[in-house]
């Protein structure tokens, strides 16, 4: 029989340590291990063979694909997507003979709302990924990533900008772009280092 509560589903092979928190509507699939002290929000989905360590925090509607290990220090806001076999770290200078465990040793990796990380990407600890940042498959992220930025490569470098719906943005001479799916408009900063979504009242009007 599967683990059963009124709030979430866990496959019978999943190991849920006493003290872990799992939100309403979440699904924990085959061979997952959720450590005591892990905090998983509502409507999350953890694929096969996912490990979630003590101190990890997942917001609402976080999707974690197969074979991902989330180590202490990883924090994900709502709507984050982690592709298959994404790799996280939490110590930058590990040595087998030098204990570097627990509070004060692990560096925080912070993923803001809507971040997508492609399959087999590696996220080096101590980095922050801004809202709706998009990391290409197989990339190695060693520095902070701005909101809405598209990065890929090893090491990952800026390659463009993405909408909240996951479409690459093409900016015109006025530094404006429109998402082809949502119709939401975005503005590129004058120094081309950041992008912001425009409020509806800021959208460009047609000239008569």
Write the pLDDT tens digit of every residue in 22-76.
999 999 999 999 999 999 999 999 999 999 999 999 999 999 999 999 999 999 9
| Per-residue pLDDT tens over the stretch 96-148 | 999 888 767 899 999 999 999 999 999 999 999 999 999 999 999 999 999 99
Q: How confident is the model at residue 1 (pLDDT cuts 50, 70, 90)?
A: very low
How far apart (Å, rounded) are the C-alpha atoms in residues 89 and 92?
8
How far apart (Å, rounded) are the C-alpha atoms in residues 112 and 129?
6
Our CA dihedral for 57, 60, 66, 72, rounded to 10 degrees, sits at: 0
How far apart (Å, rounded) are the C-alpha atoms in residues 101 and 114?
29
Name every residue whose Cβ is closer than 8 Å to that of residue 33 and which is 6 or more positions away in sequence: 14, 15, 17, 50, 51, 52
Q: Which two tokens stand for residue 9?
A: 């589903």
**Global pTM value:** 0.92
Sign of the CA dihedral 202, 172, 163, 112? negative
Q: How confident is the model at residue 203 (pLDDT cuts 50, 70, 90)?
A: low
């Amino acid at each position: 029989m599967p683990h059963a509560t009124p709030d979430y589903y866990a496959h019978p092979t999943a190991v849920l340590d006493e003290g872990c928190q799992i939100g309403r509507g979440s699904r924990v699939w085959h061979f997952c291990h959720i450590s005591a002290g892990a905090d998983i929000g509502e409507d999350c989905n953890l694929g096969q063979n996912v490990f979630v360590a003590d101190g990890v925090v997942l917001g609402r509607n976080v999707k974690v694909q197969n074979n991902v290990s989330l180590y202490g220090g990883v924090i994900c806001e709502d709507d984050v997507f982690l592709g298959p076999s994404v790799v996280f770290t939490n110590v930058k200078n590990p040595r087998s003979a030098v204990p570097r465990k627990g509070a004060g040793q692990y560096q925080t990796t912070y993923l803001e709302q809507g971040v997508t990380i492609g399959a087999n990407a590696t996220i080096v600890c101590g980095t922050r990924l801004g809202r709706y940042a998009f990391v290409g498959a197989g990339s190695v992220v060693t520095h902070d990533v701005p909101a809405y930025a598209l990065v890929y490569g090893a090491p990952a470098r800026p390659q463009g900008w993405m909408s909240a719906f996951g479409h690459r943005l093409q900016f015109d001479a006025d530094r404006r772009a429109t998402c082809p799916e949502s119709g939401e408009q975005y503005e590129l900063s004058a120094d081309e280092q950041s992008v912001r979504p425009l409020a509806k009242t800021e959208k460009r009007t047609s000239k008569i």
